[in-house]
Chains A and B, each alone.
Chain A
Amino acid sequence: MEYWNVGKRTRNKIAFLPIIPFFHCSILPIFLFLILAGMAQAADHLLYLEAQGIAGYSSELKKGIFYSQNPDAEMQKPSLGFDYIKRFSGESGDVATFALQGRLALVVNAEKGDRVKLEPQAYNAYLKVKTPGPYVWIGHNRPAFGLSSYFDSHGLLLRTLAIEGFGYDRDWGVGLYRDFSWGDISASATTGSGMPVYFKDNYMTAGRVSYWVLSKDNMNLGFSLGYGNTLDTMGYKLRDPEPRQMTLAGLDFTFLRNNFEHRFDLLAGKWLGEKTYALFYRFGVNLDQEGRFKIEAQPSYWRLGEERNYQQSFCFSFLATSNLTVRLAYFYDRNEKDNRVVLQLYYYRPVSWLSKLAEKLKKGEGN
């Protein structure tokens, strides 16, 4: 059953909560509301506009494509979206943060006669509350497993293991984390469904402990454990309605030195009921002092049950302006025998010009 079948039940189990279709239907009104809120000149929130164009060529399909990975996967497609963050404060400090990140993506399915549909998507959608102990979040956020638990890929072309399908980049549920001088600890209990929400006895629990602070020590080593019964989803598509066992251990490491970036992610155990291991390494070089030009290379290898695969990708990024990034990536997939080239124009800017416009209009009225 797919996400738009609101309220339908499968074997007496709730297939879907109405909350997501509500978001789907209201993504544009929400954006317009946030723009109006942004006009209020308040200093407690940020609103960004995000837009991206994607075009590429797949040797397997022998045609042009308008997505980076798969038409069903959430990343990346031509889209318009927003990124909103609001802080709530009391008399003596911040008490909570609300984050909402949404997109309206254009899906051009090259595998089905270039059928076109619009797909609203929700990435960050959570409330994070400060407690005397850890931060606690509820909503759609990153599960506490592996590199993806702190490395944001939602605008990038290169894929982490979670985006590749080993885990979820975002999942619905609750989580907590606490920073220490030596590192941090995080944990999450989520639905194990990724972008959509399903209740079919599926769940995912995860925990991660990391040593070193990336922003202070230029390195971070993390160890993760995950357990649950998770669903096989790709983007908003449910590929198998039966939840499958997850028992995973993971090790991730990030190391930054001079203009070089190294990121490793390794996981092993059972994923979707199959014996699994996956390995990923991303090497990046910043080519100039501002970080405008960057080259990245990424080999990844995995085994899921009897299936083994190897992928190699390269990406060249160029910050044309502080708002516009151009990325050109090459992907090779051994199993699909696919050579793919993808060009991305990624635009991201604060929506402050609207508040200026509102101010001008206000002044005009005053005069």
Chain B
Amino acid sequence: MKNPKYKFKGKREMQTLRKKLIHSKFCNSQSAICVGAFLALLLVLTGYTAALGAVGCDLNDPDRDVARLFPESTGYKTHYVSIDRKGGEPLLARIETKLGDKFHGIYETIDVPYTIYEIFANKKKIGYIHGVNQKGQFGGIQVFVSLDLEGRIKAFYIQKMTSKYAGKLRDANFGRQFLGLTLKDFDLYDVISGKASGKVEAIKNPAPEAEADFRASLRATKKNLILMDEFVFSTP
């Protein structure tokens, strides 16, 4: 729609036009104030962001995935936890120490809400499913583990990974190498150098071309287990 064009015919029309102009001027200044105020608010909010936050890591199809990862389950409860709310900066420092690396980037901020699925067989709790976001070779990847009540890995699942080698890293044979491992096993894995000893050293990369995604998967698994330890298993 084009802007209306006004024609000048007489005093009355001039008065009408003046009113319109005054209204338009008022609207312009009003809109400028509104937009300015909004942008100022946005800057304030952005400035406040000393502790960054982001979107967490959910199962895309929890019904389907829970049934697959825990075939004996009959239901699940969803809980949201964040480092921010659970223990703040001291907890973050403890997690970073355990990980052997700093949290950085858009996926690792103090107020990311983590989604923990408590798994039930009827009314009995039988385990957990938890996923984390991790920087991969071609964007973010999402690594889930299902754990029994003692924190042992029952299943390993890469939800998001767009690499053309994703099929190999999602393959059941690769996931099987993680079964039964615990945080103690991953304590022996250095996420920076990629060097490991013990059971983690035995995990073989099924796609040597996707070394970056393989190492990202191991880092994500260690991070995942540390978070579960802090959020669930170490909580009295």
Chain B hits for A348, CB < 8 A: 55
Question: Which DSSP category, helix, strand, loop or mixed, fits chain B's interface?
Answer: mixed
A43-B79, A180-B64, A290-B107 given as contacts; is B27 within 8 A of A345 (CB)?
no
Contact mask B144-165 → A, CB, 8 Å, 1/0? 0000000000000001111110
Contact B109 A322 (CB under 8 A): yes
Closest to A106 in B: B34
B63 at the interface (CB under 8 A from A): yes
**A84 at interface, CB cutoff 8 A:** no
| Chain B residue nearest to A111 in the complex (CB) | B1
A115–B166 CB distance below 8 A:
no
A92 CA to B75 CA, complexed, in Å: 6
Interface flags for A333-367 (1: CB within 8 Å of B; 0: not) read: 00000000000010111101101100000000000
- Whether B81 is near chain A, meaning CB under 8 Å from some CB there, is yes
Contact A322 B123 (CB under 8 A): no
Contact of A347 with B46 at beta-carbon distance under 8 Å, contacts A213-B61, A286-B139, A290-B107 already known:
yes
Q: In the complex, A111→B31 CA distance in Å? A: 14
Contacts of A53 in B (CB 8 A): 35, 38-39, 42
Which one of B75, B123, B138, B170 contacts A289 once the chains associate, using CB atoms below 8 Å? B138
Contact with A along B29-63 (1 / 0, CB 8 A): 01100110011011001101101111110001101
Q: Mark A80-122, 1 if CB is under 8 A from B, else 0.
A: 1000000101111110000000000010100101111000000
Given A93-B77, A290-B140, A319-B106: A258 touches B163 (CB 8 Å cut-off): yes
Closest Cβ of chain B to A41, distance in Å, is 7
Cβ contact within 8 Å between B170 and A258: no
Q: Does B197 sit within 8 A of A, measured CB to CB?
A: no
A43→B84 CA distance, assembly (Å): 13
B113 within 8 A of A: yes
Complex Cα spacing A140 to B1, Å: 30
Q: A290 — which chain B residues lie within 8 A by C-beta?
A: 105-107, 135, 139-140
Q: Would you call A164 an interface residue if the criterion is a C-beta within 8 Å of the partner chain's C-beta atoms?
A: no
Residue B205, interface by CB 8 Å: no
Q: Report Cα–Cα, A260/B79, bound state, in Å.
A: 33
Report yes or no: A94 in contact with B78, Cβ–Cβ below 8 A: yes
Contacts of A46 in B (CB 8 A): 56, 80, 113
Q: How far is the CA of A258 from the CA of B88 in the complex (A)?
A: 35
B42 touches A51 (CB 8 A): yes
B142 to chain A, nearest CB (A): 8
A292 at the interface (CB under 8 A from B): yes
Q: Mark A34-66, 1 if CB is under 8 A from B, else 0.
A: 000000010111100101110100000100001
Question: Whole-angstrom distance between the alpha carbons of A356 and B82 in the complex?
Answer: 12
Selected from B31, B46, B79, B122, the residue in CB contact (under 8 A) with A108 is B31
A90 to B49, CA, bound (A): 36
Q: Once bound together, how far apart are the Cα atoms of A350 and B106, in whole Å? A: 14
The reply to whether B75 and A323 form a contact with Cβ atoms under 8 Å apart is: no
Is the CB–CB distance between B164 and A55 below 8 Å? Answer: no
Query: Could you tell me the distance between the alpha carbons of A80 and B40 in the complex, rounded to whole angstroms?
Result: 13
B interface, how many residues as a size bin? 35 or more
Q: Is B136 at the interface (CB under 8 A from chain A)?
A: yes
* Bound Cα distance from A291 to B137, whole angstroms: 10
A114/B24 contact (C-beta < 8 A), A78-B38, A291-B140, A349-B49 known = yes
B229 interfacial contact with A, CB 8 Å: no
Q: Which residues of B contact A213 (CB under 8 A)?
A: 60-61, 64
Q: Is A14 an interface residue (CB 8 A)?
A: no
- B28 proximal to A (CB < 8 A): yes
* Residue A153, interface by CB 8 Å: no
Q: A66 to nearest B CB, angstroms?
A: 6
B163 touches A106 (CB 8 A): no
B120 at the interface (CB under 8 A from A): yes
| B111 at the A interface (CB under 8 A) | yes
Closest to A359 in B: B85
Instruction: Determine whether A259 belongs to the interface, using a CB cutoff of 8 Å to chain B.
Output: yes
B138 touches A179 (CB 8 A): no
User: Is the beta-carbon distance between B54 and A61 smaller than 8 angstroms?
Assistant: no
Q: Are B159 and A215 in contact (CB under 8 A)?
A: yes
A257: interface (CB < 8 Å): yes
- Decide yes or no whether A11 CB sits under 8 A from chain B: no
| 26 A–B contacts from the bound complex (CB under 8 Å) | A43-B79, A44-B78, A46-B80, A46-B113, A51-B38, A51-B45, A53-B35, A80-B38, A87-B77, A93-B74, A93-B77, A108-B34, A108-B35, A113-B20, A114-B28, A179-B64, A213-B61, A218-B161, A289-B135, A291-B106, A323-B46, A324-B46, A347-B46, A352-B82, A356-B84, A356-B85
Interface residues of B (CB under 8 A from A): 1, 3, 20, 23-24, 27-28, 30-31, 34-35, 38-39, 41-42, 45-46, 48-49, 51-56, 60-61, 63-64, 68, 74-82, 84-85, 88, 105-107, 109, 111-113, 120, 122-123, 135-140, 142, 159-164, 166, 170, 212
Top-4 shortest CB links A-B: A93-B75, A322-B54, A322-B106, A291-B139
19 extra A-B contacts, CB within 8 A, seeds A114-B24, A290-B139: A46-B80, A53-B35, A92-B74, A94-B78, A108-B34, A116-B27, A116-B31, A179-B63, A213-B61, A218-B161, A218-B162, A258-B138, A289-B137, A319-B106, A347-B45, A349-B52, A352-B111, A353-B111, A356-B88
